[in-house]
């Protein structure tokens, strides 16, 4: 395998981002409400859990976004949604049977900051009544700077906000027009300062490369503006253009998009600029100030990957609330009904809203751990992980042969211990994919590896 072969594969391959194993598109209705009820009831007593609340509403619907979101001009659907979240929280905690300690609460969406201050207060009261949330619990919220005001900022502060994440994508006006998301440097800078004033000790910014009309110049200007307000973390994701699945993306003409080689140049540019600004790389697409928890965890081999991306949160149980929310248990994954209507019906009928998932067997667990280590450390001790799950190195001999054939010099193999030779992890998804037993017939359904 020559360097060129591996690079061509990198430019053309479509592979999962591995925020779970198996990836969520392999979940099936073999898992339902009865399974999640059993898994919830079995949450170990002395273990802190992580909580995810999904708010699937937005005031604007950006053309590039593949999230399942619902546009709303009125607050009426929000009032009803928050009421059902309260019910769902109460139902799940009744199954647990005690006030379980919580390591982290994350509000994602959609646009969580579309909620009014009284909505946040109600959800906070429901959570604190049902769970043991203390001063050490991380409280993070995805914030839209165009959808935040003083009252909402105060509501986040009252909840004990510790982290915030802000979507920027690209500040260039032509790019923003093409993706239907106008957001100025000034309002973003103001939002970051206000969040810090209200207690957010870590602010993350999300950027995207591969957007329509994006060039290394627009990206450089964006990163210059971002580093000027000095977020603690930045993530740069590749835009995945899948208009057949995400219909809003049909508004983005294919010929306005950078090609595979230009995407790689854009990513390289972003990496270099963030490194010059003092950020250290974390995993495949995150960057953090050296003193940030995420950078320290990466250095110390304490990085984890869950549905939200890279995290320092080691909680073995993630409880997801809201439409389409994902939960993770030692026994498997469970996902709530994706459509708000189906989720609402389940909540109103007194049921758990689990619609699909995946029950893990010992081999799935081994593959999940191998893939998580590759995505976090760019290395994995295959014999050690295999032994931990009652398997042997020989059980992965087909994978080792494929890795030698597909990735050649990009991977060092020493007695079953694998390590990517490049430090930036650009081949991590391809290496992880070699251990994905679900992948064989799925090419084209995932985003590009770069």
Residue ranges that bind ligand SF4, judged by CB under 6 A: 58, 60-62, 65, 67, 69, 109-111, 144, 167, 181
* 58 annotated to bind ligand: yes
| Measured distance CA(288)–CA(274) in Å, rounded | 9
Measured from the CB of residue 246, what is the shortest distance to ligand SF4 in angstroms? 10
CB 332 within 8 A of CB 31: yes
Nearer Cβ to ligand SF4, position 68 or 419? 68
* 62 annotated to bind ligand: yes
* 438 annotated to bind ligand: no
With 0-12 / 13-18 / 19 or more C-beta atoms within 10 angstroms meaning exposed / middle / buried, residue 144 is buried
Nearer Cβ to ligand SF4, position 109 or 357? 109
* 57 annotated to bind ligand: no
* 72 annotated to bind ligand: no
Other CB atoms within 10 Å distance of the CB of residue 256: 13
* 108 annotated to bind ligand: no
* 416 annotated to bind ligand: no
Nearer Cβ to ligand SF4, position 144 or 381? 144
Measured CA distances, 307 to 37, 51, 56, 90, 380 (Å): 20, 11, 16, 23, 21
CB 88 within 8 A of CB 40: no
Find tokens 């409280």 and name the residue.
Answer: 139
Nearer Cβ to ligand SF4, position 96 or 325? 325
* 181 annotated to bind ligand: yes
| Measured distance CA(442)–CA(431) in Å, rounded | 16
Nearer Cβ to ligand SF4, position 61 or 230? 61
HSE value, Cβ hemisphere, 13 Å, CA-based, for 20: 24
Measured from the CB of residue 319, what is the shortest distance to ligand SF4 in angstroms? 22
Measured from the CB of residue 407, what is the shortest distance to ligand SF4 in angstroms? 33
CB 166 within 8 A of CB 143: yes
Measured from the CB of residue 228, what is the shortest distance to ligand SF4 in angstroms? 23
Encoded tokens for 153:
């900022």
Sequence-distant (6+) residues with CB within 8 A of 303 are: 282, 283, 294, 297, 310, 311, 312, 376, 377
Measured from the CB of residue 113, what is the shortest distance to ligand SF4 in angstroms? 10
CB 36 within 8 A of CB 321: no
Nearer Cβ to ligand SF4, position 114 or 418? 114
Measured from the CB of residue 167, what is the shortest distance to ligand SF4 in angstroms? 6
Measured from the CB of residue 85, what is the shortest distance to ligand SF4 in angstroms? 18
- CA 67 to centroid of chain Cα atoms: 11
| Measured distance CA(33)–CA(172) in Å, rounded | 45
* 66 annotated to bind ligand: yes
Task: Give all strands (DSSP E) within 210-265, no chain letters.
Answer: 233-238
Nearer Cβ to ligand SF4, position 110 or 212? 110
* 167 annotated to bind ligand: no
Measured from the CB of residue 57, what is the shortest distance to ligand SF4 in angstroms? 8
Nearer Cβ to ligand SF4, position 109 or 238? 109
Output the known binding site. Answer: 52, 58, 62, 64-66, 109-111, 142, 169, 181, 206, 240
Output the known binding site for S-adenosyl-L-methionine. Answer: 52, 64-66, 109-111, 142, 169, 181, 206, 240
Output the known binding site for [4Fe-4S] cluster. Answer: 58, 62, 65
């Amino acid at each position: 395998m020559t360097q060129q072969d591996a690079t061509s594969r990198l430019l053309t391959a479509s592979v999962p981002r591995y925020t779970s194993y198996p990836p969520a598109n392999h979940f099936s209705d073999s898992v339902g409400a009865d399974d999640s009820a059993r898994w919830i009831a079995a949450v170990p007593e002395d273990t802190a859990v992580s909580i995810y609340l999904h708010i699937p509403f937005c005031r604007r619907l950006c053309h590039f976004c593949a999230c399942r979101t619902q546009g709303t001009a009125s607050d009426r659907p929000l009032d009803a949604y928050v009421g059902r979240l309260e019910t769902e929280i109460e139902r799940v905690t009744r199954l647990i049977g005690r006030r379980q300690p919580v390591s982290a609460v994350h509000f994602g969406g959609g646009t969580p900051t579309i909620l009014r201050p009284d909505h946040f207060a109600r959800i906070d009261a429901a959570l604190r009544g049902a769970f043991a949330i203390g001063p050490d619990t991380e409280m993070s919220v995805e914030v839209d700077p165009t959808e935040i005001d003083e009252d909402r900022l105060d509501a986040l502060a009252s909840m004990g906000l510790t982290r915030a994440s802000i979507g920027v994508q690209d500040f260039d006006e032509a790019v923003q027009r093409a993706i239907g998301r106008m957001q100025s440097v000034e309002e973003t800078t103001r939002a970051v300062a206000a969040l810090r004033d209200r207690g957010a000790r870590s602010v993350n910014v999300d950027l995207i490369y591969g957007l329509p009309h994006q060039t290394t110049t627009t990206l450089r200007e964006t990163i210059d503006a971002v580093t000027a307000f000095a977020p603690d973390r930045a993530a740069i994701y590749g835009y995945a253009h899948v208009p057949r699945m995400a219909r809003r993306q049909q508004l983005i003409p294919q010929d306005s998009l950078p090609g595979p080689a230009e995407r790689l140049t854009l990513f390289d540019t972003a990496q270099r600029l963030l490194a010059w600004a003092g950020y250290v790389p974390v995993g495949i697409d995150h960057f953090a100030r050296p003193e940030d928890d995420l950078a320290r965890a990466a250095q110390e081999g304490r990085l984890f990957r869950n549905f939200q991306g890279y995290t320092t949160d080691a909680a073995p149980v993630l409880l997801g609330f809201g439409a389409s929310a994902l939960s993770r248990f030692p026994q498997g994954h469970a996902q709530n009904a994706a459509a708000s209507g189906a989720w609402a019906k389940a909540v109103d009928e007194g049921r758990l809203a689990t619609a699909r998932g995946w029950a893990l067997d010992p081999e799935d667990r081994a593959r999940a751990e191998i893939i998580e280590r590759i995505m976090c450390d760019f290395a994995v001790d295959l014999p050690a992980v295999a032994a931990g799950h009652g398997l042997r190195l020989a059980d992965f001999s087909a994978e080792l042969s494929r890795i030698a054939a597909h990735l050649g010099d990009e991977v060092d193999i020493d007695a079953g211990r694998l390590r990517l030779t490049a430090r930036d992890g650009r081949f991590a998804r391809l290496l992880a994919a070699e251990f994905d037993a679900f992948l064989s017939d799925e090419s084209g359904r995932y985003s590009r590896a770069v």
